[in-house]
Structure 1
């Protein structure tokens, strides 16, 4: 059985995130890409990709106490082992490459860049809705770019909902994150899109050790995420 302490730590972090979210202002709504920017022939675009901090796993939602989470984690332990040992980040890299490709269709000056620090370590920007929460403007001079595009994948693997320790349904294929673009002159979003794909497996899901139905639903979630990216750029 997996180390439950690891998941308990993530439960505490998730609880804090929920508390902070509850206390925060209105969530940033979707911003449709402002294509007027691409009328500038000399527009320079930098693309940043951030991958998940943990391997593919089952992301548990609704098991809100430590005991509940422990039971839920035990129920998903075999699936977790399968996901962590067989699912790589290759498909997520293809999502990154798709973003690069689609923006390259819009501008001839597009490059993949690597930030010297994590996005979370950048200074906060105290703007209203429609502006990035971090101050990205310093990157304009640092990288000689006008537009920053960020693909930030936060979760991948499976999604399973619980009511305390009782499952609400089967594990589902899952990928989640953000795609957003920031005008480095103003720190305003010129694009903002939430990626949250959850796909129900077809047929029986509980088929260790390969879990073919859940695995297939994971790859379908990835494909749906790609379609969403392609239609948004």
Structure 2
């Protein structure tokens, strides 16, 4: 069988898309890299996502519509929840660095990570984004990035059938990039998942799930702040994940 160029190109793109990179693994906090003589550190944060409900596994239009309708009361309540604890995290991180006599500046505008070029690499300490333009723009030597990707509640489905109760979730990562080498001096994935327990379906206020949500926010904050406030931080080897109650 003879393939045309468009067909061959399409097949090649499918093959390449299947060669997914391994998930970024944690990088232990390098205390020496952030020492007082390590240069100026910028603290940046991506725009916080809206607090929302998510239904993975409801993967057809009708399935998702069913899941969305079935959880409409929870979604309506979710939209009232605040994210102030995470909004303040950037300033708290900067304050923790300044206590260590580190020259620190807060980057006021949210960092747009999607605008940075991707780097395909499986080297554990190599950044997956190209931060070269950031160094020139911000005039800092290192950049501590707080990237929150998901907030709210996750309830898994198998098509139309729920396979779990809703769980409060905070998903993201925090990392320190040496802008001279585009490498991580620290990387901690954050994946917090907390259940309200057996009794969760309590509309319209959902007190159990609400409590779980704010506990998840606090656990996410602790995951980022703890290594920066410890005198001799111990290396993290796994993503932060709160045990389901």
Q: TM-score, normalised by structure 1?
A: 0.82
CA RMSD of aligned residues (A): 2.2
1:180 aligns with 2:175: yes
1:1-233 map, 5 Å: 23-41=19-37, 43-53=39-49, 55-84=50-79, 86-114=80-108, 118-129=112-123, 130-233=125-228
Report the CA distance shift for 1:107/1:136 in structure 2 as closer, same or farther (over 3 A).
farther
Report the CA distance shift for 1:122/1:180 in structure 2 as closer, same or farther (over 3 A).
same
Aligned length: 212
Offset, 1:127: 4.4
Q: Give distance in 1, aligned partners of 2:98 and 2:163.
A: 43
Structure 1: tracts of 5 or more residues without a match: 1-19
Offset, 1:81: 0.7
Of the structure 1 ranges 97-106 and 39-48, higher mean CA displacement relative to structure 2 is found in: 97-106
Structure 2: tracts of 5 or more residues without a match: 1-15, 229-245
Offset, 1:78: 1.0
Q: Give distance in 1, aligned partners of 2:142 and 2:98.
A: 13
Q: Give distance in 2, aligned partners of 1:21 and 1:190.
A: 29
Report the CA distance shift for 1:116/1:194 in structure 2 as closer, same or farther (over 3 A).
closer
The structure whose Rg is larger is 2
